[in-house]
Each structure stands twice: as structure tokens, then as C-alpha cells.
Copies of this chain bind each other. A is one copy, B any other.
Amino acid sequence: MENILIGIDLGGTNVKIGCFDHELKLIAKTSVATKADMGPEVVVEKICETTEKLLAKNGLSADVIEAVGIGAPGPSNIAEGIIISAPNLPKFKNIPLRKMIGARLGRPIVFENDANAACWGEYVVGAGKGVRNMVFLTLGTGIGGGIISNGELVHGFNDNAAELGHIIIHPQGRLCGCGQKGCVEAYASASSTAARAAEAVQSGAKSSLKKVLDKNGEITCKDVFDHSAAGDTLAKEITDGTADALGLLCVNMLHVTGPQRIVFAGGMIAAGDLLLNRIRHFFKQYIWPLKKETLEICFATLGGDAGVIGTAALALHDWEQGKL
């Protein structure tokens, strides 16, 4: 392949587009506002136009596109390339995104959900490089997941797999946004971490976070980790609660798909070793003593580019496998 690959990461706020050579080296990238309220047709046209402009700016014509990968929020029908619905793209109901972009650009399109696309990016060129079995977890407002088993993404029946934030770890525990009780997301997402801190402060727990709440009217996840790092006892308890849930999740994932490496991504990993070392600590507390487990727990390395790299890499993968 001499031609180039396009990776598109469709988000509720922005669309990121990257242009890569066949060794997945970035040639150029750009980002535009999604303007999701304009509806799918307008968004698709904007994506395609921006892609062509990006190529033109780099002296390339649209003819050099070998294949395009696009990652989108879900639930989606991945095989058919359809967004079924998406909380942050309210006008996208049963939208055949792959077909629409394919018709406009005239090139083969590979469709994937956004968490899987980012997982694939980390797997191919990021923190998962060199392993064949990996679990990927994004710690943001919610907890998203992706699973690589023997070098392939796990999709499951009806693309139901890897809803890893909704594994129940405390059956009678905190109510999750999904309606279940005790999901790992109800403890360890950025918003749940912030919520647990706010609840504790509001219940009268002594903490330096009280001033933050009084001043800003809210506590963010970053506040909690900052105050934990500064030594506040309550904040430490809260961040340990997050790491505890994630360490337990690592044990459970190890027992299910047997990953060699679990990669954490998302805004929360900015907390650094304060988070990573404690996840590893709780993993060791929970895991069986039967045998020495060699599971590696680490942070993602591609940051916000995981999606565009991942979608381009998926396009390359399917091209190499003769699927396009």
C-alpha cells in the first residue's frame, strides 16, 4: 500500500481527523466542531469536506485515500456501521454512518465504536503494543472499555461486549446512572469519585475539600486527587475507594479474558502514580495467592489521539486482512 489512511473520531463536541501513512505515521491532523444539532447529513458533509481540505493542505488529492476508519459513540451496529443512538449526538438515531461517508468519499470505510477504536489505537501503537491480550478502560464521566483477545477486538453478540464500567462489584451498592446497583462506574468514574467526595463533605466529614465546595459550589475529580496528594484524609479515602474498585475490576478482568496488560486511559490518569500505584496495590490485595500473577497495569500513552490513530489502524488492519 502506497496510499494513505484516514482516521476519524466523531465526538459530541468535536470531530478529530487524522491522516496517516501505511506505517501509521501521522501526516496531518485537524479538529472541527461537530455541531451535532445540525443533523447527520450536515455533520457527514462537514467531516468529508474537512478531510479533503486536510489532504489538499498537505498537497494530497482525495484519490490517495486507501481506506477510512471512523469511531463513533454508541450503542451502534458495528458490522453494519450504524449509530443506533448516542446520548451526545441526539439527532443520530439509526444513522448508517459508514454508508453515508462511503458514498460521499467513494472509499472503503471501517466503522467502530469510540472506546473500541481508542483501545485498538493503544493496542497497535500505544501502551498495549507487543501484547496479544489486553483490556482497555477509559476513566471519564463514565467508564468505557475495550477488550483485545488473541489480537482481535471482542464485540460480542449485538456488539454488547466490553461494557466494563457496568460490571457489578457491590451487588447492593451505589446506584449507577445505568440503573444497576454497585457498578464499578458508580465508584470509580471521574464523576462518581467527585460525587462520593461531595456526599461525604455534605454529610459533615472533615476535609480541606469543604472550602472547595463552599467556594465553587462543586467538587471535581481533579480537586479530589489534588487534595489527596496534599494529604487530606477524606480525599485520600475517596481516591483509595476509586483505586480499590479499579483494582478489583482488574482481578475480575484477569479471570475472564486473561489479559497480559490492562491499560487505563481518560482524564483521570492525569492523577499519575497516586492513582496507578494504588490500583496496583488493591489488585494485589484482591488477587489470589495461588500463583504469581504477571498482569501489567499501566496508563495509556496516546492521549486524545488514540481515537484517530485507532480508527486509521483498524482501516489498515481490515485492508491487510483483505476485508475491504
Counting every copy of the chain, the complex holds 2
- A150-B155, A154-B149, A156-B149 are known contacts. Are A288 and B256 too (CB-CB below 8 A)? no
A180 at the interface (CB under 8 A from B): yes
Task: List B contacts of A257 (CB < 8 A).
Answer: 147, 154, 156, 161, 256-257
Interchain CA distance A178-B178 in the complex, whole Å: 32
By beta carbon, the residue of chain B nearest A290 is B178
A260 within 8 A of B: yes
| B255 adjacent to A164 (CB under 8 Å) | yes
Among B157, B163, B254, B256, the residue within 8 A (CB) of A147 is B256
Closest Cβ of chain B to A166, distance in Å, is 5
CB-defined contacts of A253 to chain B, threshold 8 Å: 256
On whether the beta carbons of B256 and A162 are closer than 8 Å, the reply is yes
A160:B287 contact, CB within 8 angstroms: no
Interface string of A125-162 (1 = CB under 8 A from B): 00000011100000000000001011010111111111
Q: Is A169 an interface residue (CB 8 A)?
A: yes
In chain A between 153 and 192, which residues have their CB closer than 8 angstroms to a CB of chain B? 154-164, 166-171, 176, 178-181
Task: Return chain B residues, CB-CB under 8 Å to A260.
Answer: 157-158
Known A-B contacts A178-B290, A180-B251, A180-B286; the reply to A158 vs B258 at CB < 8 A is yes
Which listed residue, B169, B180, B294, touches A168 by the CB 8 Å rule?
A: B169
Q: Given contacts A156-B149, A251-B180, are A171 and B286 in contact (CB under 8 A)?
A: yes
* Closest B residue by C-beta to A165: B255
Does the CB pair A259–B168 fall under 8 Å? no
Residues of B within 8 A of A290 (CB): 178-179
A157 with B132: CB separation less than 8 A: yes
B258 engages A156 (CB within 8 Å): yes
Cα–Cα, bound, A198→B258 (Å):
34
A272 within 8 A of B: no
Residue of B nearest to A84 (CB): B291
Within 188-237 of A, Cβ neighbours of B (below 8 Å) are at: none
> In the complex, what residue of chain B is closest to A282 when comparing beta carbons?
B171
Measured CB to CB, the closest approach of chain B to A45, in angstroms, equals 31
* Option from B131, B167, B254 in Cβ contact (under 8 Å) with A160: B254
Whole-angstrom distance between the alpha carbons of A157 and B253 in the complex? 12
Tell whether, in the assembled complex, residue A170 and residue B171 are in contact, meaning their CB atoms are under 8 Å apart.
yes
Which 4 A-B residue pairs are closest in the complex by CB-CB distance? A156-B258, A161-B258, A160-B258, A157-B260
Q: Enumerate chain A interface residues (CB-CB to B < 8 A).
A: 75, 131-133, 147, 149-150, 152, 154-164, 166-171, 176, 178-181, 248, 251-260, 286-291, 294
Task: Jot down 12 A-B pairs with beta carbons below 8 A, ordered by A.
Answer: A147-B256, A149-B161, A157-B259, A158-B258, A158-B260, A159-B258, A160-B254, A160-B258, A161-B257, A162-B255, A163-B256, A170-B171
